[in-house]
Structure 1
Amino acid sequence: MAKLKTTDLKLFKFFLTFVKPYKGWVWLALLAMPFAIGSTLAMPWLIVKVIDEKLSHHDLTGFWGLIGLMALSVLVGYFADGVYTYSLQRTGQKSIADLRIAVFRHCLALPRSFYDHNPVGKVLSRLTSDMEALGESLAMGVLNLISDFVKTLGLFFFLLYLSWKLTLVVVVILLPVWGVTVVLKKKLRQTFNEAREALAEATAYLAECLIGIKTVQLFAAEEKVLTQFNRKNFRFLQAQNRNNTYDALLYSLIEGLTSVAMAALIWYGAGLILVGVVSIGVLVGFINTLNRIFVPIREFAQQLAMIQRAFSALEQVMVLLSEPLPQENRLSEAQERQLGGFESLVFDQVSFGYGKAGELALKKVSFSLEKGQRVALVGATGSGKSTILRLIYKAYEGYQGSIRLNGIELSTIPRSKMLALTSLMQQDVYLFNEPVGFNIALGLELSPEAIREAAQAVNADPFIEALPGGYDFKITDNGKNLSSGQAQLVSFARSMAKPADLVLLDEATSSVDSITEEAIQKATTRIFETKTVIAIAHRLSTIEHSDLILVMKGGEIIERGTHPELLAQRGYYEQLLNHLTQEQPLEEAKALGS
């Protein structure tokens, strides 16, 4: 993910866009704020009144009334603070929940090329640990800071009202605090950013290791993996330690200066009392007010650390949200009608590479497909077969040459429209921890009858009915409670549930039992009979029933024709047959072509 230049104000404005829907709760908090500030200011004023007007003159007239006002001030302050805190917490948590949904929606829309260069674990940390940091910090940190600032400002003016000379002492002491805080704030932000990035890398590596734990154990690589994780974890620990150092330094500095200020005020104030410049009540009220000022100032160090943690997390989230999404073009009415169903697909001198300066995965590939035809792609690993399918369903863009669907350039067709016209049967099966029926109907609103019909179309219904609960049987751990062939059939059924004319088939190469193999073969044969198909073929039965076979090597089509025609050439195609998963020996395959 790229770096993004931001400021705290820009980050806060970004967060406010998610706060806006809950502005009613913010207004409630703002309405409670004057009562909280008023009660805070009333207490020291009442203390001065009690000492100077009542206790100093031994006059108890109205004394208990003032005490009652002090009690009322405390109660009002508690209630107002409670309303203020609850309103802001509710606003913050709801805003962060909306932000989490927005980030996840953005992640779902990001192109495949983004995930080729960014580990899933790193993206996951944006949705988990970064959101957690926001929930703990930004929801209350920034908003409490505003409240404390207003309270401190009001108390400061009250100090001026009591004694400008004593206030001047406070200002002289607080100026160095402000200067040091500015410096440490930058350091805190820097170390928080380093810690978030280190944590994201460690999380990404941890996710990869846990997903591939069976492979790690199979090759006895536990120590090697642990060593690598220790390096990443140590980097995070170092960043956290640097952050804690600056955090502790900021807090101890403010705490120390607070004590110095209190001592200086008592010493200087006592001298003013002796010369009759201020009264005892003023000094007591001043110290009480100053203590109320220093409480938020002491908390300011912690709040500042929390806010920097929040802004650091928010900056990482903004970087993710700044990743560009594929642009969806609008089709004209004529084009919509033209794409009402599949008619033809043409590749004309198409070249494509995954990296900006990398080797081309496809080099001037040309072929055409008409409705009802079956095309098989054969070739060694890395020859470009999967790249052709990826370009068709628009997992990647930026190709050179021309790809036309029903005569319309593919780059101008919205991906959503293309996905509606095609159905992809992948070799890599992913099943969710949900019932079989849910996995078949994924992304579609289907009735139980429609789900069953899709399963019957690929001969998956018999084994599903035999499962405990049938279509309500819950799949776990990406299909670990099914055989590999059964999982493949569920994936086939998912593709057949989609009413698409063009099927993109990537045949599985994994070995399965003979019964499941037969079911897969029947399912593939039925798909070939009823659909227009482009298949990455690994089985001879799939290849020989194709209308056109494209033999690929190094990103180019080096041979093309039907099964008998290619066998007659005795070229690269014949060599590939020795490495494909065959139903029959090679000599029988040759006999079929004679």
Structure 2
Amino acid sequence: MSKRETLKRLLSYLLNDKAGFAVAAIFLLFAVVADVSGPWLIRIFLDDYVAQDYYPPNVLWGLALAYIAVTVLSGLLHYAYGIRFSRIAIEIVQTIRKRVYASIINQPLSAFDYVPAGKLVSRVTNDTESLKELYVQVVASFLQATALIIAMLTAMYLLSPTLTVVVAILIPSVVLVMYYYQRRSSPAYRDSRDLLTDINSVMSESIQGMSLIQLMGQEQRFSERFADLTEQHFNTEVRIVKINGIYLRPLIDLMSGVALISLAALFGWHGNELIGVGVLYAFISYLGRVTEPLIELMQRLSLLQQAIMAGERLFELMDAKQHVYGDDDRAIESGTIDIEGLNFSYDSKTQVLTDVNVSVKEGGFLALVGHTGSGKSTLASLLMGFYPVQKGALKLGGRELSTLTQNALRSGIAMVQQDPHVLSDTFRANVSLGRDISDEAIWQALEQVDLADYVKQLPSGLDTAIGTGDITLSAGQKQLLALARVLVDKPRILILDEATANIDSGTEERVQQALAALRNTMTIVVIAHRLSTIADADNILVLHRGHVEEQGNHQQLLANKGRYWQMYELQQTRAHLEELEQIACGETETHEGIA
């Protein structure tokens, strides 16, 4: 999208509130008339009364009161215009911010695979604030300046067409300066905005990964990286200051001075026989009121450049491809899963899954095992509809996943992730997540995951806030809470992505019992690292580098003595060594106590 198209699209938002814009325009029109009236009244006073040595009291008092009235009225009308336009600008910024956010959360997960979170946050916050400056500072000033210039030139022409020609020469000269300023400043402002985004991104990532940075002793490296970006941003800002210092006020002041000298020279040549003193005063006053808006416009061009850059980035997000769902809104009534010839790649180069075939009956228990990078989580993400199926077939309840609406898919299949996100809110809000769920259903879900007793002992129960004050959850409790979230909605298919990895053996046993009871009502898919947790699975899919190397139940795979058997033996050996180590430690402590 070109700069002109971006600016045109940004300005189109002004028409969202046509009535408000019309009211602002009326305020501006009357304010400009009041601005023009002041110097005109002074011209009458000088030429018609002072030059004639004629001072009628009533007329002079009338002119004085009229001058005071139009001055006060001008200030009030400009204030009303500014308030009205600021309101319009804030509403536009809110609209754009909402649309950008809605676009972000509706994009497919693939859009976030290579985009740092800090850059997205910067766009939603900083870039939308830049747009507010566009409407409040640039557009409002441009309309005001344009109206003033037209009104002042009209008043000048009515006073003296000859002097108006001298002043009018100033306008195209300023336009030419503005053109060259835009050409020089645009790249600098783009670099400044990009560097500021990078700075925010580094800051966000550093705060999020502070424990890792300190653990690995990388404070110096990150500090140097941040300092380098800050230095680049400083140099870019200095370049902008130099450009502004040349093209903004100095050149406009120079041209204004030339126009003023020309007026004085013309007045001195012809004398006051052709041009009265009052007319000259009015022209000088009008000239000042013409040049000031032009200088203000030049100064606002920097904000215009920033706003256009921000608009390009925001529209890029708003126009980004949205996640595409089907139009079949019928609820998933069966928990069957059928996968045939499934292939998938994140970047269209490296295959992550190749020719995966598996079927799961209603109420079945499917386990996915394999080493890191084997494709387990990718297969779970495809089942959730986070990524589109590229090749092959994936059916839920006998229907192609791609044909299901978002509502049908999200109500029919749910996932508990390995590292679930917990809101800084109450237990009730964390379980319901905005859904209309009764407290009774929430307590029932918490009972199933063995969290009810813990929540009941808290002072505020379900109203206890998490992540604030003294209440924090362990990694295992977070996973139990995430499991309770999906159990209240009773999906037809439940996926557990290493959801029991951080739970102690006692709690894990209770969760296993709860899942065994749920198998009568839903299909369970478990991504497991500890093979002991999936011994009861109907079918175990052993993945290796995206291929299905083996599948069958626990006993069948052990009898085959393939990769699953090797993984199981390694875990059994490790568990046995840990048990021996614990016994040895216990004996050592006993001997030390006797001694």
Per the normalisation by structure 2, the TM-score is 0.91
2:288 counterpart letter in structure 1: N
The whole-number CA distance in structure 2 between the counterparts of 1:494 and 1:175 is 66
- Residue deviations 1:390-435, cap 9 Å, x none? 1111111142011122332222222332111101111111101111
SS at match of 1:476: coil
Where does 1:243-258 land on structure 2 (aligned, <5 Å)? 243-251=240-248, 252-258=250-256
Per-residue CA shift, 1:154-199, capped at 9, x if unaligned? 2112222222322222233443332121011132222222211111
Equivalent of 1:212 in 184, 202, 209: 209
Deviation of the 1:341 alpha carbon: 1.3
Cα distance in structure 1, aligned partners of 2:570 and 2:198: 40
Encode CA deviations 1:30-82: one digit per residue, 9 max, x unaligned: 11122111111111211111111011111123222122221121122112111
Q: Which moved more, 1:145-154 or 1:160-169?
A: 160-169
Q: Percent identity?
A: 28
Contact 1:346/1:405 (<8 A) preserved: yes
**1:57 corresponds to which letter in structure 2?**
Q
1: CA distance, partners of 2:12 / 2:224: 43
CA distance in 2, matches of 1:7, 1:20: 20
Choose the corresponding residue for 2:498, options 494, 497, 507. 507
The answer to whether structure 1 residue 7 and structure 2 residue 3 are counterparts is yes
Of 470, 473, 479, which residue of structure 1 is paired with 2:464? 473
Deviations 1:265-321 (Å, cap 9, x if unpaired)?
2233232325x2211111111101111111111211122222222222112111111
The separation in 2 between residues aligned to 1:57 and 1:480, in whole angstroms, is 87
Among 425, 430, 443, the alignment partner of 1:434 is 425
**CA 1:19–1:399 in structure 2 vs 1: closer, same or farther (change >3 Å)?**
same
Aligned counterpart for 1:350 among listed residues 331, 342, 346: 342
Q: How does 1:335-346 map to 2 (within 5 A)?
A: 336-337=329-330, 339-346=331-338
Give SS of 2:338's match.
strand
List gaps (5 residues or longer) in structure 2: 580-595
- 1:203-352 maps to which residues of 2 (within 5 A)? 203-251=200-248, 252-273=250-271, 276-331=273-328, 336-337=329-330, 339-352=331-344
Aligned residues: 575
Q: How far off is 1:150 after superposition?
A: 1.5
Q: Write out per-residue CA displacement over residues 523-556 of structure 1, whole angstroms, 9 at most, x where no aligned residue.
A: 4444445421111012334311100011110101
Question: For residues 515 and 132 of structure 1, what CA distance do their matches in structure 2 show?
Answer: 52
For residues 206-232 of structure 1, the C-alpha deviation after alignment (integer angstroms, 9 at most, x for no partner) is: 111100101111111100111112222
Q: Does 1:56 align with 2:26?
A: no
Which structure 1 residue ranges, 5 or more long, are not aligned? 589-594
**Separation in structure 2 between the aligned mates of residue 305 and residue 139 of structure 1, nearest angstrom:** 14
Matched, 1:178 2:175: yes
Q: Distance in 1 between matches of 2:471 and 2:182?
A: 50
The equivalences for 1:343-422 within 5 A come to: 343-357=335-349, 359-422=350-413
Alignment partner of 1:365: what SS? strand
| 2:117 counterpart (116, 120, 136) | 120
Show the counterpart of 2:157. Answer: 160
TM-score (norm 1): 0.91
Q: Is structure 2 residue 478 aligned with structure 1 residue 498? A: no
C-alpha separation in 2, matches of 1:220 and 1:253:
53
Any idea what SS the aligned residue of 2:324 has? Answer: coil
User: Could you say if the C-alpha distance between residues 513 and 566 of structure 1 is closer, same or farther in structure 2, counting changes exceeding 3 Å?
Assistant: closer
Residue type matched to 2:255 in 1?
Answer: L
Provide the secondary structure at the position in 2 that maps to 1:117: coil
Following TM superposition, the consecutive aligned residue runs of length 4 or more in structure 1 with deviations greater than 6 angstroms are 477-480, 581-584
What is the alpha-carbon root mean square deviation over aligned residues? 2.4
Q: Distance in 2 between matches of 1:36 and 1:526?
A: 76
Shift in CA distance, 20/72, structure 1 to aligned 2, threshold 3 Å: same
Contact 2:13–2:92 (CA under 8 A) maintained in structure 1: yes
* C-alpha distance in structure 2 between counterparts of 1:104 and 1:31, whole Å: 34
CA contact (8 A) 1:138 1:306 kept: no
Equivalent pair of 2:542/2:551 in contact (CA under 8 Å): yes
CA distance in 2, matches of 1:442, 1:112: 20
SS at match of 1:360: coil
SS at match of 2:435: coil
Greater CA drift, 21-30 or 576-585: 576-585
Question: Please, which of 88, 92, 96 is the counterpart of residue 91 of structure 1?
Answer: 88
CA contact (8 A) 1:460 1:519 kept: no
Return the offset for 1:116.
Answer: 0.5
